[in-house]
Amino acid sequence: MNILITGGSGFLGARLARTLLQMGELSLNGGAPESIRRVTLADRVAPPADLLADARVHAVEGDLAEQVAQGALQLADTQLVVHLAAAVSGECEADFDLGMRSNLDTTRQLLDACRRAGHAPVFVFSSSVAVFGDSPEQPLPSVIEDTSLPTPQNSYGIQKFIGEQLVADYTRKGFVQGRNVRLMTVSVRPGRPNGAASSFLSGMLREPLAGERARCPVAPDTAVALSSPGNTVRGIVRAATASAREWGARTAVNLPALTTTVREMAEALERVAGTEATSLIDWEPDAQVARIITSWPSRFRPARAEGLGLRADESFEAILREYVRENPQAVKLPVKG
């Protein structure tokens, strides 16, 4: 089996690649297990060194649209495409053209390339909780069900929702076997901040653990829906392995979410690393970030995902301790047992 991961050098793409390579085989679309022969990682930058060292990894660097146009992605013999590459929420609000090009135009070009390949690969599209939003005209339900109407309130959410509909129609026509998955905000992400409005939901933990100051731009009681990196990858893999019967409707599946508040996240940080860590959080409101974050839902009832055997993380403290275990080099403060 050959697999393509767009955005494959990013944090989530690289983690997914490592998971698949460690598995060694995959039961794609409910079929029999097949050995993973090649994992193509398409991104603007090279993958991490440990992935490049694996003979099964093929790296393609450059703009994704150009890679598609040049036929560099080897889709003719690719059975699984996981489309993670995207401009993030804050970037899309700041640069409308960037978001439309990266999140809409390129997604359609990739789907068209899969159509031309002629064998209907499984196509897992990473959508987002940002397809839901709150407005006076269409108030957000208190709990999001699988049948709740998406009402995006920012460019990123609108682009992701359009992407879902494209994947659904290409699936209806038999060009791909689509699996739309709505990812929750992933926390805690290692590395440096990115342009996402939700970036602080990792930074307010990651930076203090490294002995650095961090800014929290929303009120402490702001509720958010989160998923650990490991749980997010499990959801993506399950989307690829589910049969058409298991998956059901062509509409997107909301992955399970842990509902917590920013205050509870800070309290978990204090239990893990003490007041030395929480004293490094600067509670400085940012109206624009708060407007985006509070327009997203925080409570879900993901029946379809649960029917696939997926569950939300146990607690935010468990997520945080998982980050500490996996990234000891990034933790400079003493951690409590």
Give the C-alpha separation, 182 to 236, whole Å: 10
223 burial via Cβ count (<10 Å: 0-12, 13-18, 19+): middle
Closest CA to 91 of 45, 156, 159, 6: 156
Name the catalytic one among 123, 125, 132, 156: 156
Vertex 11, ends 218 and 206: CA angle to 5°? 40
Q: Is the dihedral of CA 94, 100, 104, 107 positive or negative?
A: negative
Residue 170: active-site member: no
Query: Are 15 and 190 in contact, with CB atoms under 8 Å apart?
Result: no
Per-residue HEC secondary structure of the chain comes to CEEEEECCCCHHHHHHHHHHHHHCEECHHHCCCEECCEEEEEECCCCCHHHHCCCCEEEEECCHHHHHHCCCCCHHHCCEEEECCCCCHHHHHHCHHHHHHHHHHHHHHHHHHHHHHCCCCEEEEEEEHHHCCCCCCCCCCCCEECCCCCCCCCHHHHHHHHHHHHHHHHHHCCCCEEEEEEECEECCCCCCCCCCHHHHHHHHHHHHHCCCCEEECCCCCCEEEEECHHHHHHHHHHHHHCCHHHHCCCCCEECCCEEEEHHHHHHHHHHHHCHHHHCCEEECCCHHHHHHHHCCCCCEECHHHHHCCCCCCCCHHHHHHHHHHHCHHHCCCCCCC
Which residues are annotated as catalytic? Answer: 156
